[in-house]
Amino acid sequence: MRYYSIIISFALLAVASCSKVQENLPEDELAAPQRSLETKVVQLGDEYNPSAFQVKFETVPTTEMLSAIQEIEGIASIEPLFVSRNDRKELEHQFGLDRWYYVRLEENADVHQLVRETAGMASVSMAEYECYPQKASDGIAYPAEEVFSTKASVPGSHNDPMLIDQWHYNNQGSKAYSRNAVKGADVNVKDVWATLTCGDPDIIVAVVDEAVCYTNPDLAANMWVNTGEIPDNGIDDDNNGYVDDIYGYNFVDNNGNVNWDDPDDSGHGSHTGGTIAAVSNNGKGVAGLAGGSGKGDGCRLMSCQIFSGNRGGNSAKAIKYAADNGASIISCSYGFKAKFTSDNNYLQSQGSLEIDAIHYFEACKNNPVLNGNIAIFSSGNENDPYAHYPGAFYDIISVSAFGPDFLPTYYTDYGPGCNICAPGGEVGHLTGTDYEKSMVLSTLPKSVAGSDYGYMQGTSMACPHVSGVVALALSYAKKLGKTFSVQEFKEMILSSTNDIDQRIANTASKTYPGWKIDDLNLAPYYHQMGTGAIDAWRLMMHIEGTPTSTAQTGRTQWIDLTPLLGTSSTSLTYLSVEADSATIDSMGLEAVTPASDAHHPAVMDASGKACIQFGRLYIHPTKIGSGKFTIRVVGGGSYLGGGDNPPGGMEVTRVLSVISRDAANGGNGNGGWL
Ligand SMILES: [Ca+2]
Ligand SMILES: [Ca+2]
Ligand SMILES: [Ca+2]
Ligand SMILES: [Ca+2]
């Protein structure tokens, strides 16, 4: 692949110099500059299918254009690459999907020669090798013994008995996960579950991965089921172009038999799927981020299988399936090891089959919230200073990974192309038999792992944390009846984050002896982990339109109300402040004592645990948590109008969200993000 990237650089130089020569050419030739052969050949990885490739025509091909290729010696057949959806033909055309064709070769034909020969034709804009992606994890699953209990393992949260070990949802800084565990190094979902949303069955997430084990007792109830299809009758009953597709489709063997039977399967798709929507609050196993409240109301998982053991399938076809069968999110824990992703010029100018399919997916409307869909990719596990393809693409979200110590993991890709980070886990923060506890705990196929549950690590595990949070966000927006554009939503996702850079800057290196993490220098990761660590609560507040402030755990402090009420906040007349019981519990609020000041009387919450004085909100949180404060002020003057009053002001009610966390330095000194 390195050799190939050198070719591309030369090709770009050649194009640049050509354009100068062309200044002297007649105008009609200037209009259609001949692209060099090398920019028309696309190869996303080292491993390719030697008996087929893919072409994109400059225009929707005529019969003549197709037969010109069909007639080339060594080519057996040419057919449309994608299954078309009748009511989306316009969109398919807009993103060029009707210009992609699949070319099969005759036996012993030379794929390299035929790709180049086809790319050389004026009617062809790209000839692309059929390369298979790679899973963004080391593929090693560590089984976890199932815990059976009737008691919730995390008081006040979902009742799944293994939730206590899912630090990635609710990290209480326990040394049971990591000797350097950081409170709040998680996706901050606990209070979202408690007060806002746990998912919605209308929000479907396609897991483009190994098969999702639809028989797993903690996945089965949240599987998407194609109700229009009758299984195993060899007929495409719902006429969607795929025979016997019940839980999704198998794009490795190109049939409806989604399965995890290959002896080399790792359980990867069941693990990533479980993070998104394992059945939550069902008193069993683990929780999933958007897995519902135990009342059958979780988001649904569609299995778009592109891995079977060591064999790969066509991920672009899988993405098209997800788009056309109702998925709102594709969770893609894979990438192509295309080294040209570090060459931005090439990346921006050169499309690929995969990019066209993703852009089509993001333009399809499958839910009432967005005018399209959201694609989430993992950044890759090579510890490279750039994201892997296609997450590297500028408008596609790519996720890097941190561990329970709130530091970049030893394997994560970082830097250009990486947009955000999430928990990916990291083996070996503990010794003895607990070494796996610092990884991510989720569901697995029992036939593969020997248990329905287990631990894995990778940006593969970070990606579904963002997918699951986005699934919750779409569920919540739907509940509130809010609508957004895809672009607005992506911007809200990337700005619903917490700073990880302070923690990186304050930690020169990290070491977990006996594992791969030996004096890992952290300086290269500074400012390179995207916009920061995803925070589910913040994203929900963005959807509500509620401003969010932060407070430091463990002390009385005031919070500026300017984001809520403008710079007049210090001179307004306040009527009341109210913290609900969920907020008091979550943040462990303690009573605050107002200052004795006749000119600035305090307005107190009934519990005594929140107070407004001097135009500021005073609180004393003792726990990490999130909550809301409802504040009423007089809009104009010092008393309300109406009733027996002389004409007075209008009542204004506003809500402020607050997240309480430890301070990065000082305070409890354990490395939080304030
Ligand atoms: Ca079907
Ligand atoms: Ca059928
Ligand atoms: Ca469960
Ligand atoms: Ca990107």
For 306-326, how does the pLDDT look when each residue is reduced to its tens digit (9 = 90+)? 999 999 999 999 999 999 999
Query: So what's the pLDDT on residue 669?
Result: 46
What is the whole-number distance in angstroms between the Cα of residue 393 and the centre of ligand 4?
5
**How distant is the alpha carbon of residue 117 from its chain centre?**
39
Ligand 1: distance of its center to the CA of 235 in Å? 8
Nearest ligand, CA 242:
1
Max CA pair span of the chain = 95
- How many angstroms is it from 305 CA to the middle of ligand 2? 18
- Where does 379-506 show beta strands of DSSP type E? 397-402, 420-423, 440-443, 453-456, 497-498
Question: Do 104 and 52 touch, CB atoms closer than 8 A?
Answer: yes
* pLDDT attached to residue 667: 41
Q: Please report which ligand is nearest the Cα atom of 291.
A: 3
Residue written as tokens 């399809």? 364
397-402/374-378 β-pairing: parallel
Ligand with the closest atom to the CA of 235: 2
Write the pLDDT tens digit of every residue in 17-76.
333 333 344 444 444 445 677 778 888 888 899 999 999 999 999 999 999 999 999 999
How far is it, in rounded angstroms, from Cα 161 to Cα 194?
17
SS3 state at 562: helix
For 170-174, what is the mean pLDDT? 94
Determine what percent of the chain is predicted with pLDDT higher than 70. 91
pLDDT digits (tens, 9 = 90+) for 260-285: 999 999 999 999 999 999 999 999 99
Answer whether 547's CB lies under 8 Å from 496's CB. no
Confidence of residue 338 (pLDDT cuts 50, 70, 90): low
* Residue linked to tokens 């295309």: 338
| Ligand 2 centroid, distance to 242 Cα (angstroms) | 9
- pLDDT band at residue 351 using 50, 70 and 90 as cut-offs: confident
Quick one: pLDDT at residue 140?
86
Q: What number is the average pLDDT over the span 228-235?
A: 98
Ligand 2 centroid – CA 258 distance (Å): 14
> 555 C-alpha to center of ligand 1: Å?
59
**Whose atoms come closest to the Cα of 286: which ligand?**
3
CA distance 86 to 106: 32
Q: CA torsion sign, 85 to 87 to 91 to 93?
A: positive
**Stretch among 50-59, 654-663, 664-673 having the lowest mean pLDDT:** 664-673
Q: Backbone phi, then psi, for 467, in 5-degree steps?
A: -60, -45
Supply the mean pLDDT for the chain.
91
Task: Give the closest residue to 504 by CA, choosing from 649, 656, 634, 402.
Answer: 402
**Residue 386 and residue 396: Cα distance in Å, rounded?**
14
User: What residue has token string 């109700």?
Assistant: 227
How many angstroms separate the alpha carbon of residue 356 from the centre of ligand 3? 37
CA distances from 667 to 554, 556, 626 (A): 7, 12, 19
- Ligand 2 center to residue 237 CA distance, Å? 5
- pLDDT for the residue 664: 66
Residue type, 494: L
Distance 570 CA to ligand 1 centre (A): 62
What pLDDT score was predicted for residue 663? 80
Cα R_g (the chain), whole angstroms: 27
What's the pLDDT at 462? 98
Tell me the C-alpha distance between 348 and 340, whole Å. 11
Query: Separation of 164 CA from ligand 3 center, angstroms?
Result: 12
Cβ(628)–Cβ(529) under 8 Å? no
Interval between CA 240 and ligand 2 midpoint (Å): 11
pLDDT in tens, 89-119: 999 999 999 999 999 999 999 999 999 999 9
- In this structure, which amino acid lies at residue 176? A
143-161 average pLDDT score? 88
For residue 344, name the pLDDT band (cuts at 50, 70, 90).
low
If you measure from the C-alpha of residue 19 to the centroid of ligand 1, how many angstroms do you get, rounded to a whole number?
Answer: 49
> Which of 143-157, 364-378, 517-531, 546-560 has the lowest average pLDDT?
143-157
Q: For the whole prediction, is pTM greater than 0.85?
A: yes
φ and ψ of 449, to 5 deg: -105, -10
